[in-house]
């Protein structure tokens, strides 16, 4: 699971670069149907979502992606 967090942490550079592009460059010429806007929705949003899940709910990511189910340690 630690490797998954590291990989998606590195992949988070893509949405951050797209955000910087939107803030610095796209404000000059804004087009809601541009390739820049669609790129963020196709690549950026899923990467940020998986990154959030990997850090906040690692057991959910493990179960859905790896098929590993943790046993309840309380009993």
- pLDDT at position 71: 62
Residue 75: inside a domain: no
Question: For the chain, what is the domain count?
Answer: 1
Q: With a cut of 50, list the residues of the chain below it in pLDDT.
A: 75
Domain limits for position 45:
2-66
Q: Give the chain's length.
A: 75
Q: Are 4 and 61 in contact (CB under 8 A)?
A: yes
Residue 72: inside a domain: no
Residue 71: inside a domain: no
- pLDDT at position 28: 64
| Tokens 């988070």, residue located | 12
- Distance (Å, whole) CA 73 – CA 19: 41
Residue 20: inside a domain: yes
pTM of the entire structure?
Answer: 0.64
Residue 22: inside a domain: yes
Residue 50: inside a domain: yes
């Amino acid at each position: 699971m630690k490797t998954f967090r590291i990989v998606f942490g590195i992949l988070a550079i893509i949405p951050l670069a797209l955000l910087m592009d939107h803030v610095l460059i796209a404000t000059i010429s804004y087009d809601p149907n541009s390739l820049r806007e669609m790129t963020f929705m196709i690549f950026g949003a899923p990467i940020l979502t998986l990154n959030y899940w990997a850090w906040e709910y690692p057991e959910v990511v493990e179960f859905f992606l790896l098929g590993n189910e943790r046993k309840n340690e309380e009993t």
